Structure 1
Amino acid sequence: MSQQNPNDSAMPLVAHLKELRDRMIRSLLVVFVVFLGLYFLAGDLYMILVRPLQVLLPEGGQLIATGVASPFFVPLKLTIVLAIFIAVPYLLHQIWGFIAPALYKHERMVAVPLFISSVFLFYAGVAFVYFVVLPLVFGFFTSVGPQDINLMPDIGNVLDFCLKLFFAFGVAFEIPIATFLLVRAGLASVESLSKKRPYVFVGCFVIGMLVTPPDVISQSILAVPMWLLFELGLLFSRFIPKKQDALAEAD
């Protein structure tokens, strides 16, 4: 006999909407509180962000602001993004609290590790960008320019460039979770995905070409980890029980 959902009694739509509204308000309040805590450090936070570039600037090079309001709005934008980034565990906790009652017990047992792993992998992707990717990319771009040209990057362009890489690598590091879910949901098998390795490998470089700056170093820095993370997802997917076993556990 199949396992009954503990919340099979239908909850009124209005109650669902009210709970969703309350959780969204709490999430926004947490982000706002974190933002207030970081606001007075906005300038310092920006200097920490651009340090990988600043230490590589040649003599005479410096960061500049081409917009009148850029010195105010650029650090402010970074602080808002950082506040959301720090609040991600709480935001995911609110999402989990909203959807968990609709899941079966065995589904919740799988979902909790996936939530925790997805947060960890996203943070790992961002850390990889800051400590590995940015020094390599900035080192490449600051070394290929003509000697008679002073490199003076705009602070807004630098921030947008960094945020783009943070988001790209943060999402790319979720590949093991996506691979695991594909196999878990029965949309693909480990064997079929293994046979598609050559296409995945090429696809990783295509994505790297579209997302990163137009140089081989940046593309490879994104493509190779994406492929390795795909292999990691396949490895963990091998531990997923067969469909018949999963149905037996649910009975």
Structure 2
Amino acid sequence: MPLRGHLGELRRRVVLAGLGILVGAVIGWFFYDPVFEALQMPIIEASKARDAIVSINFSGLATAIDMQVKVSFFLGVLISSPWWLYQLWAFINPGLNHKEKVRTYGFLAAAVPLFLAGATFAALVLPNAVRVLTEFTPKGATNLIDAQTYLSFVMRFMLAFGVAFLLPVIMVALTLGGVVRARTWARGWRWAILLSFVFAAVMTPTPDVLSMILLAVPICGLYFLALGIGLVHDRRVERRRAATTAAPDDL
């Protein structure tokens, strides 16, 4: 496919993914109240723990409605994750045949739970992160957290965890699609471990090392699992090619 064709296909997949997120955002609009209560709970718990005023502050006239729109789109990303993940796979492997369609189902079956697992893991870590960060507030001071700032922090936090858990699936997709050889992933395993621990250190603002290790180890494990799947796939491809090449010589 020429470059123009790839760009056209990319534009089509992005539009389809965006429409899916938009539909998910409409659904998420009706779940705003319970979701906002859940997002606000770490702030309430931090306020009780410090016995001080720690609260979300809506500083502008339109801040409340703006936050509801952003939360709705954030929920749309989560709700429509099977759809936009499929668009990602379809772009990597255009013109899917029957065998590749079966791989697509396997890709979605692994990618969606892993993405949601990463976001869920972030939600579990979030209260501890909020507690640690609010402890830096001086005694006697009031911590009024801007609603937009807090929401941006939560969204980046959860999406970063979701994407981190999704990267090994993307590795497998690129390997099965013939874009990247498994040997390339194998040569970068040291960097993968280093970046996993750096990511865990940055995304877990708690001072203890255990939280960092609990996040980094699953990411490293998923990386090596994806590497193993890629190596098995490449060996099968090499054997198939060797058998195809040897067949004419036997005639």
TM-score (norm. length: structure 2): 0.71
Quote how far apart the aligned CAs of 1:110 are.
2.7
Alignment partner, residue 115 of structure 1: 108
Q: Does 1:161 align with 2:153?
A: yes
Quote how far apart the aligned CAs of 1:56 are.
1.9
Structure 2 runs not aligned, ≥5 long? 246-251
Q: Does 1:77 align with 2:70?
A: yes
Alignment partner, residue 173 of structure 1: 165
Quote how far apart the aligned CAs of 1:32 are.
4.6
Determine the C-alpha separation between the residues in 2 that align with 1:106 and 1:249.
Answer: 20
Pair 1:118–1:105, CA change in 2 (3 A) = same
Alignment partner, residue 200 of structure 1: 192
Quote how far apart the aligned CAs of 1:129 are.
0.6
Structure 2 residue matching 1:102: 3-state secondary structure: coil
Quote how far apart the aligned CAs of 1:80 are.
1.9
Alignment partner, residue 5 of structure 1: none
Structure 2 residue matching 1:152: 3-state secondary structure: strand
Alpha-carbon displacement from aligned partner over 1:133-170 (angstroms, at most 9, x marks no partner)? 20221121123332222222111111000110111111
Pairwise CA RMSD: 3.8
Segment drifting more, 205-214 vs 39-48 = 205-214
Q: Please give the residue correspondences for 1:217-228 in structure 2 after superposition, counting only pairs within 5 Å.
A: 222-228=215-221
Quote how far apart the aligned CAs of 1:111 are.
3.0
TM-score (norm. length: structure 1): 0.71
1:136 to 128, 134, 137: 128
Quote how far apart the aligned CAs of 1:121 are.
0.9
Aligned residues: 234
Letter in structure 2 aligned against 1:165: F
Q: Does 1:49 align with 2:31?
A: no
Determine the C-alpha separation between the residues in 2 that align with 1:90 and 1:216.
Answer: 37
1:187 to 160, 177, 181: 181
Contact 1:53 1:134 in 2 (8 A): no
Alpha-carbon displacement from aligned partner over 1:33-88 (angstroms, at most 9, x marks no partner)? 54344424424322222323322224322211122211111122101221232122
Determine the C-alpha separation between the residues in 1 that align with 2:36 and 2:121.
Answer: 18
Structure with more of its chain in helix, by fraction: 2
Structure 2 residue matching 1:144: 3-state secondary structure: coil
Higher RCO (CA < 8 A, seq sep 6+):
1
Determine the C-alpha separation between the residues in 2 that align with 1:67 and 1:241.
Answer: 56
Pair 1:250–1:39, CA change in 2 (3 A) = farther
Structure 1 runs not aligned, ≥5 long? 1-12
Pair 1:158–1:101, CA change in 2 (3 A) = closer
